[in-house]
Amino acid sequence: MDMRNFKPVALFLMVFLFTASLLYPQGKVDELDLMPVPAKTTLMQGKYRLDTAFSISVLGNPNKRIYGAATGMLRHLSGRTGFFFHQGFVTDTNKSDTAQFVIDCKRPGKLGLHEEESYTLLVTPKKVELNAETDLGAIHGLMTFIQLLKVDERGYYFPALKIVDYPRFPWRGLMIDVSRHFMPVDVIKRNLNAMAFLKMNVLHLHLSDDQGFRVESKIFPELTKLGSDGEYFTQDQIKDIIAYADARGIRVIPEFDVPGHSTSWFVSHPELASAPGPYKIERNWGVFNPVFNPTIDATYEFLDKFFGEMAKLFPDEYFHIGGDENNGKDWSANKSIQAFMKEHNIATTADLQTYFNKRILKILTKHHKRMIGWDEILQPGMPNNIVIQSWRGQEALFAAAREGYMGILSNGYYIDLMQPASYHYLNDPIPPDSVLPDSVKKNILGGEATQWAELVTPENVDSRIWPRTAAIAERFWSPDSVRNVDDMYRRLSIINYELEDYGLTQIKNYGMMLRRLTDDHDITALKNFVNVVEPVKFYHRHSQGVHYTSYSPYTRVVDAARPESDIDRHFGKYVDEFLKGGKEFKESVVFWLKLWRDNYPELEKTIKVSPILKEIEPMSANLKNISEAGLEAVNLISENKAADKGWTDQKLQLIEAAKKPYGQVELEMVPAIEKLIKAVKIE
């Protein structure tokens, strides 16, 4: 640490810890930091003390994946504690019921929808017992056990307790788009690690889109030769990913988007498109016209061969066809397609897509797969053995469920929109006040967080997915009564740190990106600034005066900034408590306002040696201005003094200026400072 910055950092830690203890008071000494929250937990007296004699044995008849998972847990505990455990690996020869940790699985778990995933974990001062019907449940229990590790003056221990746990929903997924920006194998694997840690069980890979085709086909090798820029998964890599996911109890579902979002297919196969070529890989973002021609047999012959090849590569019973955002323009402009529609009494392009989907469904059924797709695949006449992934929202999901269709919710879990964890956390596939009958509820399988990749690269994708997806994972697993947002955030900060043990880069890459932005100068001032800005929300980044393409730089402040600022969130709470009369929170409010005010001249020095930062200079000045206004407001409120209306008007003008984005980032503490100014009495 730069000693010049030690004093303010140390002061911050003291202030933060004090005020956090007031905002988030702890309960018992052994208060649990688990995420997701288990279904039922009973705390008991005592602690299980960890030492080097700790050993694990496995009883019953499990799948072999439990041995790798148990060994991984052993390595994790060793790494956390520094203990040289006598046991190196957990194998099928470790069957002693006298081991300190006994895992008992009744049968091998089969990856698939509605497989048994429950477990019971009993920790006593003498022993740990994990019982599960399948090894899938046992793996979940291992992840819970890891999160229970605590430390006191005597060393490492686990609190004595009994947990009976099971998931609320059977489908708890994460979709990663590897088409817009390719995400290599190491990115996928580290996110699988995090998914297992949070008890998620479906990885959905979006493998084709206008910007790239990302899986090797040995039948049609030109798909990746011409449509991937050389960035794609070989079939051996796909097999490796699937095996890696299987070892963690996670299913892998492929998505090949048809009939729209399909430009990359046509670079090598323009004869399948609805408009004449030639085609080239799309470098821009948006919804584009290219679409498969649904009226020619060649389309179905091609997809039959390709889907048949991929059906053998991906063992899961579900196969995602996308099906979204076909604007129908190329269909409407093609005279032969229009003639086909007239001849077959197909009235609209939506009806034509239904015709296409039904033929695709026959192909998938032939290859022993079940179809899943976005909302648009649900059209009159579609059989109800398909699964609807809803981006449109709960009403669309509920309407489909009422008609007998199974569905999963993604609306409200679009993590690329940069919304706070609290928003995703309170979004629910089946809200607690739902009046849906049980016969309809059973059709709602759960949900998926969706990480679209227009604006992310392997360098910052983890920071967009985690830790917020941990809150979503809890929504999918825990009872619907678990809804305390403040406690969620308390545990989320702990989980965020623990995810680093599994290779996630959302914390460590932050500093790296800031160092690059300063050209390896002191990052303190820049960090003080970036800590309290967030990327603009939703898809507004595309309308902020910058035209993004697939090859644009994703290395600016907006790319380093986190989707949600913990400091801004805490500051907002400090302000609220101060305005309620909590004088003990004044010190925290003043601390941050002074830090932001004084950061401006220091950041100016950094900007002079790093021109890439010039775009945020006006916002740095705005932050200084509103911080000064906030300090004046705190003093007036503390001294019970009034200000004239001119003062208030002037300060509110500063607030309005500070609301303007620069460099596609926004200051998120502005509403809290605005509250301070509006709380000042006017003469």
- For 188-231, give the secondary structure using H, E and C: HHHHHHHHHHCCCCEEEEEEEECCEECECCCCCCHHHHHHCCCC
| Residue at token pair 């990913």 | 241
Task: Assign residue 666 a region (left: φ > 0; alpha: ψ between -120 and 50; beta: otherwise).
Answer: beta
| pTM score of the predicted model | 0.95
What confidence tier does 96 reach under pLDDT thresholds 50, 70, 90?
A: confident
Radius of gyration of the chain (CA): 27
- Of the residues 317, 325, 403, 632, only one is catalytic, namely 325
Contact call for residues 262 and 291 (beta carbons, < 8 A): yes
pLDDT, tens only, 118-137? 999 999 999 999 999 999 99
**Which residue spans of the chain are classified as CATH 3.30.379.10?**
33-165
Please give the mean pLDDT across all residues of the chain. 95
For the residues 267-289, what does the mean pLDDT come to? 97
Query: How much is the average pLDDT of 104-114?
Result: 96
Instruction: Tell me the DSSP string of 24-86.
Output: S---STT----SSPPSEEEEEEEEEEP-TT--EEEEES--THHHHHHHHHHHHHHHHH----S
Question: For residue range 563-600, what is the model confidence (pLDDT) as tens digits?
Answer: 999 999 999 999 999 999 999 999 999 999 999 999 99
3-state SS, residue 105: strand
User: 574: how many CB neighbours lie within 10 A of its CB?
Assistant: 27
Continuous segment of H or E residues that includes residue 106: strand 101-107
Per-residue pLDDT at 4:
38
CA distance 367 to 317: 10
- The pLDDT tens digits for 494-552 are 999 999 999 999 999 999 999 999 999 999 999 999 999 999 999 999 988 899 999 99
Does residue 36 have a cis peptide bond before it, meaning omega lies within 30 degrees of 0? Answer: yes
| Rounded Cα distance, 660 and 618, in Å | 10
Q: pLDDT at position 15, please?
A: 53
29: pLDDT strictly greater than 50: no
Confidence at 110, pLDDT banded by 50, 70, 90: very high
| Per-residue burial over 85-97, b = 16 or more CB atoms within 10 Å of its CB, e = otherwise | bebeebeeebeee
For residue range 288-317, list pLDDT tens digits in order: 999 999 999 999 999 999 999 999 999 999
Which residue bears the tokens 């400091």?
Answer: 567
pLDDT at 7 over 50: no
325 is catalytic: yes
Looking at residue 257, its pLDDT comes to 98
Q: Residue 102 pLDDT more than 90?
A: yes
Which contacts of 481-487 are long-range, i.e. CB under 8 A and separated by 24 or more positions? 481/432, 482/36, 482/37, 483/425, 483/426, 483/432, 485/422, 485/425, 485/426, 486/23, 486/24, 487/24
Stretch 595-621: mean pLDDT: 98
Rounded-to-integer distance, Cα 434 and Cα 441, Å:
9
Buried (b) or exposed (e) across 631-641, using 16+ Cβ within 10 A? bbbbebbeeee
Is residue 493's pLDDT more than 60? yes
* Residue 16, pLDDT score: 52
Task: Reply yes or no on whether the pLDDT at 18 is more than 80.
Answer: no
**pLDDT tens figures, 196-225:** 999 999 999 999 999 999 999 999 999 999
Average pLDDT over residues 362-378: 97
Q: What is the DSSP letter of 166?
A: -
End-to-end CA distance of the chain: 48
**Mean pLDDT, range 324-341, rounded to an integer:** 97
pLDDT-derived band at 14 (thresholds 50, 70, 90) equals low
For residue 77, the one-letter residue type is L
Q: Beta strands of 517-634 (E only): which ranges?
A: 533-535
Phi/psi at 413 (nearest 5 deg)? -120, 20
pLDDT at position 22, please?
53
Section 338-356 average pLDDT? 97
Instruction: Give the pLDDT score at 24.
Output: 46
CB-CB neighbours of 106 under 10 Å: 17
User: CA-CA distances (angstroms) from residue 450 to 47, 92, 578?
Assistant: 40, 38, 38
Per-residue pLDDT for 605 more than 80?
A: yes
What whole-number distance in Å separates Cα of residue 289 and Cα of residue 262?
9
* Amino acid identity for residue 90 in this structure: V
Position 6 pLDDT exceeds 60: no
Question: Coil, helix or strand for 275?
Answer: coil
Q: What is the pLDDT of residue 3?
A: 37
Q: How far apart are CA 578 and CA 634, in angstroms?
A: 9
584 contacts: CB under 8 Å, gap ≥ 6: 19, 22
The CATH code of the domain at 33-165 is 3.30.379.10
Q: How far apart (Å, rounded) are the C-alpha atoms in residues 230 and 232? A: 6
Q: Exposed/middle/buried for 343, CB within 10 Å: 0-12, 13-18, 19+?
A: exposed
Q: What share of the chain is helix, strand, coil (3-state, %, to 5)?
A: 45, 15, 35
Mean per-residue pLDDT, 58-69: 95
**Which uninterrupted H or E stretch holds 160?**
strand 155-165
Question: How much of the chain exceeds pLDDT 90, in percent?
Answer: 93
For residue 98, which amino acid is it? T
Specify the residue for token string 């009422």: 402
Does the pLDDT at position 424 exceed 90?
Answer: yes
DSSP labels for 332-347? HH-HHHHHHHHHTT--
pLDDT value for 31:
77
